[in-house]
Amino acid sequence: MGCHKHRDDDKFESCVCEVVRAIRDIQDAREDEECRDCKDCFAEPLGDLDGPRRRNADTRVFTLTTKKGKPFFAFFSPDEADDCDAGCVSIFFRVEDVFDSCCARLRVLMPLDDDHEPVNLACDEGISLKQVCKVENFDKTRSCVTVDLNEFIAVQCIKDVDLDICR
């Protein structure tokens, strides 16, 4: 893997695109393998990212960083948050599909604290990094966003979780 991998059609594929494709493949595979020491986006099987294997994990939660060095965020429907103060914005995603020239459909994940209460990440400047530190859990939403993965400079895998995603 290398950043800006040259493809046959004279276009370049970013390393972010490669990583998100790998996450999608790992989510699809969900099969048992030996534990690996390196805990990055390529850690297999799904459930192995945070140490002890989570056998029921169906999602590798990740964040994306924009070319300006800021966390990418998207909105989810306020109907999905029990608390109107939840902010309805998240920097956490699950990849649903990767298609064409590195476009991806991402499910927006609701950030939750240790007590499974929504965490409001929004602030006047954009995303409150202080609030991000309070996020311990996630919940699926019905909100998805389609992105061009070539527009990001970094992807960070956060946690493997079971969101009871139906296929």
In the block, tokens 């059609």 appear at 9
Q: Please, which residues bridge with residue 89 across strands?
A: 75
Q: Show pLDDT as tens, one digit a residue, over the chain (167 residues).
A: 334 444 455 455 678 999 999 999 988 886 444 434 456 677 767 766 666 555 688 999 999 999 999 999 999 987 655 555 667 899 999 999 999 889 999 999 999 999 999 999 988 888 888 999 999 999 999 999 999 999 999 999 999 999 988 65
pLDDT at position 114:
96
Do residues 78 and 88 touch, judged by C-beta distance below 8 A? yes
pLDDT at position 36:
42
pLDDT at position 166:
66
- With b meaning 16 or more CB within 10 Å and e meaning fewer, what string describes 53-89? bbeebbbbbbbbbeeeeebbbbebeeebbeeeebbbb
pLDDT at position 1:
37
pLDDT at position 29:
80
- Within 8 A by CB and 6+ apart from 7, the residues are 13
Cβ-based neighbour number of residue 97 at 10 Å: 12
* CA-based nearest residue to 150, from 1, 15, 6: 15
Residues for the chain: how many in total? 167
Whole-angstrom CA distances from 75 to 89, 104, 144 are 4, 16, 9
pLDDT at position 45:
72
* CA–CA dist 77, 83 (Å, integer): 12
pLDDT at position 31:
47
* CA-based nearest residue to 144, from 120, 165, 113: 165
Task: Give this prediction's pTM.
Answer: 0.80
